Structure 1
Amino acid sequence: MKMKNFPLLLVLFAFIFTSCSKDDEALEENNSTTNPEETTQESELEIEEFIYAGMNEIYLYKANVPVLADTYFDTEEDKLDYLAGFSSPESLFKNLKLSSDRFSFMTDDYEALEESFNGVSSSTAGMNFGLGQISGTNNLFGFLQYVIPNTPAADAGLTRGTVFTEINGQKITLNNLESLLDTDSFTINIGKVEGGTIVLTDETVTLNYATYTANPVHLVKTFDVDGTKVGYLMYNSFIGNFDDELNMAFGELKSEGVEELVLDLRYNGGGDVDSAVDLASMITGQFEGEVFMQEIWNETYQTYFEENAPERLLNLFDSKIRTGESINSLKLSKVYVLSTASTASASELIINGLEPYINVIQIGETTTGKFQASVTLYDSEDFLKDSDINKNHTYALQPLVLKSANANGKTDYFNGLDPDVELVENINNLGVLGDLNEPFLQAAVNHIKGISQIGADAAQQKRPESNLKIIGDGEMFEPTYQRMYLNRVPEIFRRK
């Protein structure tokens, strides 16, 4: 199932009340007492009441949005009048969050949202691609970063570095990319980058959408580098359903006697906080019970936790994954993390959370700067998806509810986390993932060998001059893009 993403499309829900009397039924059948416009307004108001309640309850930045103050409205009628003044639920939500908040969102299809959190997708047919802009034009190009196995893109023979500028014969722009991909199938042209210029061929590939579940553990390898066992793990999303696979990957690395680890998070936009705690515990293992991450909530929740459950604010290094299986820990005192501007949220949490304990050598670009986590709110009394959920609509909220800090209190890295070794992906030379000659992995191995990046690899230090500018990636249109989230809301509620 494809999920509608930003901007979210308005879905109108008809909420029709029926009467037990035959007279009222007859009136309904004749449409003499039901005004469709009024029914729609009632339906939207119901959704808007839920949106306001959720944001008023738990939004991280509640104190910075005056209308969310508990004392803002004198009466319930005043609040309903305020809500009724918005043209749509989406319009209300936009007004209830900070304009600088890029990460809180809502959806009109929570089932599709749940699927995306579980790694189920049909978008892009299995090709993860970066986006670039051709200088002096509004035209974009896509370049494949990696291809997910057993998907239409893999079956079509597409590989890392493939470039395309058209979808269904239309030039790609920021304005049409999302709509061009929102079809049951699409056709791309095939090209490559040579010397900073896109070279196209006559070849095209048609890709049909198919629902697939991507294993975020994309590559696991071990190399012998001058007698040192070096492990390489490419991990592309923090998905709880795949914690077993992640733990198995570390079991493989452990059995190989890995002494150094290169963790590739270049295209990892984040995900489940619990999976991040587990990954940090797999890399280490010698800090069980110590603080990996501290949580900072809005004033109401923070005060409650501090007074009633202070342990709830701490995420500790652990020894078991959520299934109860023991963690395969490498007990390393150093880790190499590969990053780009697409590295976000839970990926940044790994870097920030480990820094007080071990040497984290970050290679690549400055990360996104996303240190907050969100949670899914449903329209029920406790905001959980339970028996009393409102069946009249499928809206859900995903607001920011906490910010993370490491054991030393470091947080608020709005401008991202800067690398120790600066490196950018050169679309003229992306290399093969998991190959020792791939520039990012090569840089990590050179550091392990004590070889300076200055010199032979100096050309990689700066993005090469060309008329092609990298501006983002294809995942940026997805609602779950660069998200860090909790599994469920905490068990304190004030909803009236």
Structure 2
Amino acid sequence: MTIGKFIIYILLSVALLPSPACTKKDAGWQPTDSIGKINKWVYDSMAMYYYWSADMPPHPDYSLPTEQFFKQLLSPNDRFSWISNRTTIGATKTAAETYGFYYSFTIHPFDQQKLIGVITSVIPGSNANNRGLKRGMLFSAVNDRPITVDNKKATKEALQAAAATLQLAAFNTDRSALVDSARIGVQSAIVPQKSVYATHVFENNGKKTGYLAYYLCAEKDDAVMLQSIQKLQQQGVTEFILDLRYNPGGSVASATKLAALLTSNFNAGNKFITYRGNKHGGTVVQTFQQAISFSSNAAGKSMSDLQAWNLNLSRVYILTSAETASAAELLTHNLEPYTNVVRIGEITLGKDEASFPIEDQRNPRQVAWVIMPIVYKIADANGKGDYATGLTPHHAVVETSKLPLAPIGKPGDLPVDKAFMLIYGTTAVSVTVL
């Protein structure tokens, strides 16, 4: 998964699944028109791979436009499957995918009938970054429309369009009012990938805590992630804060590499992931080594290589938000059988599911569409999963409850402060930036 799309899915190898076979519910029937042929390919593909294939309608309307046809096959429990014609139709994008910034809504400090937008993270090199947006900035309107509870959904949709205009706002000198300032336009553009945002060491009374802001499970950055862990190990950290607040997921292999570095029970043969599919996919269990073997990056691809960098932690503090999803949730959830995980922050997105793209493999290709259906439900080594409603924090902290926002990963950043209190009993720590 690339940060340029921020598509929330977990990419699995097709090798995990059996070869396609005839699964047509309308046995013997073959369409003759072009739309019918496309839709039949869609149906047969979904019948083979889709997690909820047993719930698909047995006799769908093959005359419907393909996007509409696909939607009638989906389970009411499905929030993430999508289909693309490679041009205008595809997955719905977030503001992070489109412009390069994350945001949250909170009650307007001086008008309970309104909301205020808070920019929580900006991706370096993105259009939002280039337009001058920064963490902690506030906006009171989108496309000149003030944000309210009633139009919250419409505002989110406006921030998924090809372009949008933010009305920035700021506290006045004595913080007695929030006043509008500049209007900033943002546009859809390629959003560059970046996994490691910060590596710090916090210290109080000789006790050292490592901190890693890891905001994408991207295989291309595995070496950078491993170097960060190695630096923290060399500093002699005995506690660890893993910040996944703005991590939308990505590579399972990368997430597994990081999990292996944090566990107190390091063993290549330990089970890490359980995938549950439909009657064709069955159940697939992967060990740590099996999961990382799918990586395209040689860095840390062997558990024997990772062992030297293992931090051997008895507990890990993981910071989460509603943006924490997919492989980041898997890392958080599946690490629990091997070390004590303390979650701090907000409920995660709740994508306990895995997908991979399905394309027409015939030569020449007869169907141009690409399907990204949910194929598996994810569980841990013990078969425990079912977190579609999100992972609930052990310590609930809403970082936007105190404005202005502090820099990410520094004292004053509320979820980080909570971790400090749990580790040290105080927020008075020294900070070393690595």
The TM-score normalised by the length of structure 1 is 0.68
Give distance in 2, aligned partners of 1:292 and 1:168: 46
3-state secondary structure, aligned to 1:84:
coil
3-state secondary structure, aligned to 2:225:
helix
2:389 maps to what in 1? 415
2:47 maps to what in 1? 56
Aligned residue identity for 2:228: A
CA deviation after TM superposition for structure 1 residue 203, in Å? 2.0
CA deviation after TM superposition for structure 1 residue 136, in Å? 7.9
1:230 maps to what in 2? 209
**Partner residue of 2:138 out of 163, 183, 186:** 163
- 1:342-401 CA deviation, whole Å, 9 max, x = no partner? 3222222112211111111111223233211111111225xxxxx5544x63x2111111
Give distance in 1, aligned partners of 2:395 and 2:47: 43
**Partner residue of 1:267 out of 246, 250, 254:** 246
How many pairs are equivalent? 383
**Partner residue of 1:47 out of 10, 15, 38:** 38
CA deviation after TM superposition for structure 1 residue 276, in Å? 1.7
Give distance in 1, aligned partners of 2:176 and 2:69: 45
1:187 maps to what in 2? 165
CA deviation after TM superposition for structure 1 residue 207, in Å? 3.8
1:348 aligns with 2:324: no
1:129 maps to what in 2? 103
1:290 maps to what in 2? 270
Give distance in 1, aligned partners of 2:4 and 2:215: 20
Alpha carbons of structure 1 residues 196 and 95: separation in structure 2 relative to 1, 3 Å: farther
Give distance in 2, aligned partners of 1:146 and 1:400: 28
1:361 maps to what in 2? 342
Alpha carbons of structure 1 residues 45 and 141: separation in structure 2 relative to 1, 3 Å: farther
Give distance in 2, aligned partners of 1:4 and 1:358: 29
2:414 maps to what in 1? 439
**Partner residue of 1:330 out of 299, 311, 322:** 311
1:250 maps to what in 2? 229
- 1:11-41 CA deviation, whole Å, 9 max, x = no partner? xxxxxxxxxxxxxxxxxxxxxxxxxxxxxx9
Alpha carbons of structure 1 residues 156 and 449: separation in structure 2 relative to 1, 3 Å: same
- 1:117-170 CA deviation, whole Å, 9 max, x = no partner? xxxx8712x322224577886x76432011122334334432212111334434
Give distance in 1, aligned partners of 2:364 and 2:310: 42
Larger Rg: 1
Check the 8 A contact 2:208/2:237 in 1, yes or no: yes
3-state secondary structure, aligned to 2:184:
strand
Give distance in 2, aligned partners of 1:434 and 1:376: 35
CA deviation after TM superposition for structure 1 residue 407, in Å? 1.4
Give distance in 2, aligned partners of 1:348 and 1:2: 20
1:406 aligns with 2:380: yes
2:26 maps to what in 1? none
Give distance in 2, aligned partners of 1:178 and 1:5: 16
Give distance in 1, aligned partners of 2:400 and 2:259: 29
Aligned residue identity for 1:223: F
Aligned residue identity for 1:405: A
Alpha carbons of structure 1 residues 202 and 136: separation in structure 2 relative to 1, 3 Å: closer
Check the 8 A contact 1:60/1:297 in 2, yes or no: yes
Alpha carbons of structure 1 residues 368 and 156: separation in structure 2 relative to 1, 3 Å: closer
Give distance in 2, aligned partners of 1:160 and 1:375: 33
Give distance in 2, aligned partners of 1:375 and 1:178: 26
1:371 maps to what in 2? 352
Aligned residue identity for 2:137: T
Check the 8 A contact 2:120/2:135 in 1, yes or no: yes
The 5 Å alignment of 1:96-111 reads 96-109=73-86
Give distance in 1, aligned partners of 2:112 and 2:424: 42
CA deviation after TM superposition for structure 1 residue 290, in Å? 0.7
- 1:184-208 CA deviation, whole Å, 9 max, x = no partner? x543221147999982323223445
Alpha carbons of structure 1 residues 317 and 198: separation in structure 2 relative to 1, 3 Å: farther
Alpha-carbon RMSD across the aligned residues, in angstroms, is: 3.6
CA deviation after TM superposition for structure 1 residue 109, in Å? 2.1
2:18 maps to what in 1? none
Q: Which segments of 5 or more consecutive residues in structure 1 lack a partner in the other structure?
A: 7-40, 68-78, 306-311, 382-386, 454-496
Give distance in 1, aligned partners of 2:206 and 2:107: 43
- 1:100-131 CA deviation, whole Å, 9 max, x = no partner? 211222222289979x9xxxx8712x322224
1:92 aligns with 2:69: yes
The TM-score normalised by the length of structure 2 is 0.77
